Structure 1
Amino acid sequence: IIHGIRHFVPQMIKQGDDCHIVNTSSMASMCTLPFAGIYHMTKHAALALSECLFHELSMMAPQISVSCLCPELVNTGIATSARNRPEELADQNPTEMHAMSMAAITDATANSLHPRALAERVLAAIRNKTFYILPPQDNPWMVTAASRLEDLKLRRNPTFAPPAI
């Protein structure tokens, strides 16, 4: 995201046309779950960077809109993406934890959102200049995010509220 912003935003400003940037984060940017701290950290950072960019461009180049895509589980085959890795870069000694994680991701995404539905959500957000591209309000991930927001509002310790998927 950083390299994309550094490379494309100056060109977008220079051309002066209406443009739209969509950065991809995750619903992991809206909550925290155990055993995924590094993943959540990177997704929180992607959301924060996108929010800052939204404000900066609103002030400096209002013809450029920004959205941040925070999808729930999407059936993309991500758990099998290692199949595309060159053999010399393959993990020769995957850990048991890694195997368990990949199995869990495969199971969780098997009946999840179709990529086309997500693409339609993104296009609607671009058309409407919507910043937060989120799942529907009744989605289990939104319930988890609402729990975190409530924890912050009430200044209470984090609630363990994984999405009921």
Structure 2
Amino acid sequence: MDEKEILLNLALHRYDEVNNRNSSVDNKNKSMIGFIGIILTIEITILPQIFNRSSEILLINASRALICLEIMSICCYAISIFYFISAITFVSTFQEAPVMSGIISSIENKDDADLIINKNIVSLQKCIEDNHEIVEDKTKKAKIGFEFFKYGLISTVTFFILLLLTFWR
């Protein structure tokens, strides 16, 4: 195996790594969307019950605090879902390499094997750089989504602690 073939194999390996990272980021984002959906369903189900149980005058202020925490956590989760979804549905398309039409045209033109390898190494480099940029953008959006998820989770935990303390009899 000569130098160019080694470089091509390394470039193909790097391309596979970027593709695998893209799949991993997408899977994590999809999991978070599902998990937040479950939390939102539970919280939205509990909200009307707070209104039903807050008939006593002493509980009105506690109910207001509960409702504020509930709304705050729902808003944080909604923003978090927005970022996770925007990370999955991106505007740029993921590049593919090597492009089969380029390889076939090189073969039809009876290009030298070294020339074919050189062309593919260059196209792989561009493809890897573009795909890496797309994955980094997805990762940045997911990090923002996790931040809002963290604030939503803190609000939810505080909400449940206050709920237990308020309606403890």
TM-score by length of 2: 0.24
Q: Which has the higher helix share?
A: 2
Structure with greater Cα Rg: 2
- Higher RCO (C-alpha 8 Å, min separation 6): 2
Q: Which has the higher strand share?
A: 1
